[in-house]
């Protein structure tokens, strides 16, 4: 069985740092949000500090991985994620055939939303932290924004986990994010515009831009 490399070490590091950071923030955030958990854990001021500084560490760790890792590779990945063509639009409308590149249209949208959430979490979380210390930083909509983003991000996370761990057709993708490689036949089936063609055959082209 042949395998092809899908993700670099830097890409995998960004993914797992992002995942761990989000889970820590989600856990501490739920303790602050749910009264039953807040009472059970206690020490609410400490949990607030852990939540805030975990957010700072999350952003800092992502920046550190980007600075110390393969920056050119990450830029190429960003360009891939930012590129939508006719095949991507057909894929979203479930009109087939719609061959996909290294990332399908759903993964591109998920990545863009995660990047937007990171910025919104950082801004709203900072305002909430300093708003408790200085009324100049208090805005009525900040809590609504922060909680709303958390809800949407959690729903997307559940869907992502289902596709990565449970769904038979897509769970092989988890190997790519853990070991870096995926089966060549799986890659051709799900990412035909990126995967190497079978021996002796030329690469098929997609639907254009």
Q: Residue 68: give its domain's CATH number.
A: 1.20.950.20
Alpha-carbon distances, residue 165 vs 6, 24, 160, 175, 189 (angstroms): 18, 20, 8, 10, 18
How far is it, in rounded angstroms, from Cα 17 to Cα 71? 16
Kindly state the helix (H) or strand (E) to which residue 115 belongs, with its residue range.
helix 105-131
Q: Could you tell me if residue 188 is inside a domain? A: no
Please report whether residue 96 resides in a domain: yes
The answer to whether residue 187 sits within a structural domain is no
Asked, for residue 116, whether it belongs to a domain, the answer is yes
Residue 178, in any domain of the structure:
no
Task: Report pLDDT for 199.
Answer: 67
Distances (CA, A) of 22 to 3, 97, 104, 131, 168: 30, 35, 23, 22, 25
The residue segments making up the domain with residue 20 are 7-141
- 167 part of a folded domain: no
* First-to-last C-alpha distance (Å) of the chain: 33
The model's pLDDT over 115-166, given as tens digits with 9 standing for 90+, comes to 999 999 999 999 998 888 888 888 889 999 999 999 999 999 999 999 999 9
Closest-CA residue to 53 (of 83, 21, 81): 21
pTM: 0.88
Extract the residue ranges of the chain whose pLDDT is less than 70.
199-209
User: Is the residue at 152 inside a domain?
Assistant: no
Chain segment 154-167, per-residue pLDDT in tens: 999 999 999 999 99
Q: Is residue 191 part of a domain?
A: no
* Number of structural domains in the chain: 1
């Amino acid at each position: 069985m042949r395998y092809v490399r899908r993700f670099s070490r830097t890409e995998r590091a960004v993914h797992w740092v992002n995942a761990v950071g989000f889970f820590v923030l989600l856990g501490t955030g739920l303790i602050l949000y749910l009264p039953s958990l807040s009472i059970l854990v206690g020490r609410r001021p400490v949990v607030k500090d852990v939540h805030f500084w975990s957010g700072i560490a999350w952003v800092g760790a992502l920046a550190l991985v980007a600075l110390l890792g393969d920056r050119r590779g990450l830029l190429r990945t960003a360009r891939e994620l930012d590129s939508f063509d006719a095949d991507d639009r057909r894929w979203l409308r479930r009109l087939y055939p719609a061959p996909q590149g290294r990332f399908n249209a759903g993964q591109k949208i998920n990545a863009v939303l995660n990047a937007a959430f990171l910025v919104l979490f950082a801004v709203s979380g900072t305002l909430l932290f300093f708003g408790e210390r200085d009324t100049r930083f208090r805005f009525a909509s900040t809590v609504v924004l922060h909680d709303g983003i958390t809800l949407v991000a959690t729903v997307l996370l559940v869907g992502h986990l289902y596709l990565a761990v449970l769904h038979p057709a897509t769970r092989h993708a988890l190997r790519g994010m853990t070991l870096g490689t995926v089966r060549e036949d799986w890659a051709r089936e799900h990412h035909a515009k990126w995967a190497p063609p079978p021996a002796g055959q030329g690469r098929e082209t997609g639907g254009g831009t």
